[in-house]
Structure 1
Amino acid sequence: MLPTTSDHPSASSIQVVAGLGCRRGCSLDELIDLLIHSLAQHELTVDNIVGLASIAHKRDEASLHELAEHLALELVFFAPEQLSPYQALTAGNALTQAATGSPAVAEPCALALAARMGASPCLLGEKNRSASATCALATFDREPA
């Protein structure tokens, strides 16, 4: 069972997005475990998540779509050029660059989605890793309607 904000009422107003990277064939269970671990580090739960993002190179990765469906969230994919403004804020990797066209995936995807959803996107700490995936969380300020 996934923990919810009712377990942490003070965190219920915080909205975050998750940027995800993964190897081909990564399992849904691994993504869920990594996401829950990442959230728990900040005393947050899946109820705090308002969106998921990854790189366009992973558009066909089944587990990413399964995670979005499982959480009933939109999954947004960004092209490498859309992530360029957020690369300076993260450490890149030559292997990731060769595979995806972007030196980093999780952090810039989280920041790009947070910027799309509001103002002042900010990473929540460093990304977390599992054997086959990475997860970065970002917060943002909702712009007044």
Structure 2
Amino acid sequence: MRDLPAQPALYAGFGCRRGCPVETLAVLLRQTLTRNALPLSALRAIASIEPKAREPGLLALAERLGLPYICFDAGHLLAFEPQLSQRSATAYAQTGCWGVAESAALALAGDNGRLHVPRQVLGSATLALAIGG
């Protein structure tokens, strides 16, 4: 009997405007996973930046998915700037980070993580997916 290859661990980083509805976040996640033929079961956690720690839509999404929701401070996320697919001066001015979604996904994925799906946008939400151990 052959062992099946291990499913890669996926980590989702989100950015959003204040008050972004959970449905917008959920649709963005579902569409992104479907478009990239990725299973929801591979998702291990979701993340954002510290000012979003109490964002109702993100908290509701994590609860709905039964996944940890982790927030990182801007200083930690800055370390991932060389790996970003794009840099946003607007995001930097507002958060101190060049890209919340991609940086948060990479931070969750750990030392060997890599960006798998760059920043996707739906309405007031952004999402990026990273693969890690």
TM over 0.5: yes
Q: Percent identity?
A: 35
- Structure 2: runs of 5 or more not aligned: none
Q: Is the 8 Å Cα contact of residues 11 and 44 (structure 1) preserved in structure 2?
A: no
**1:49 Cα deviation from its structure 2 partner:** 0.5
Among residues 46, 51, 54, which one is paired with 2:40 in the alignment? 46
Match of 1:6 in 2: none
Structure 2 residue aligned with 1:86, among 72, 80, 84? 80
Matched, 1:101 2:96: yes
Structure 1: 4+ residue segments shifted above 2 A: none
Matched letter for residue 64 of structure 1 = L
Contact 1:124–1:138, Cα closer than 8 Å, also in 2: yes
How many pairs align? Answer: 129
User: Which residue in 2 is equivalent to 1:131?
Assistant: 123
Q: Secondary structure at the match of 1:120?
A: coil
Q: TM-score under structure 1 normalisation? A: 0.83
- Flag the 1:11–1:45 CA change in 2: closer, same or farther, 3 A: farther
- When structure 1 is superposed on structure 2, of 40-49 and 69-78 the one drifting more is 40-49
Residue equivalent to 1:37: 31
Aligned equivalents of 1:11 and 1:26: distance in 2? 37
Q: Deviations over 1:36-57 (max 9, x none)?
A: 1111122113211001000001
SS in 1 for 2:48: strand
Gaps of 5+ in 1: 1-9
Shift of 1:89: 1.5
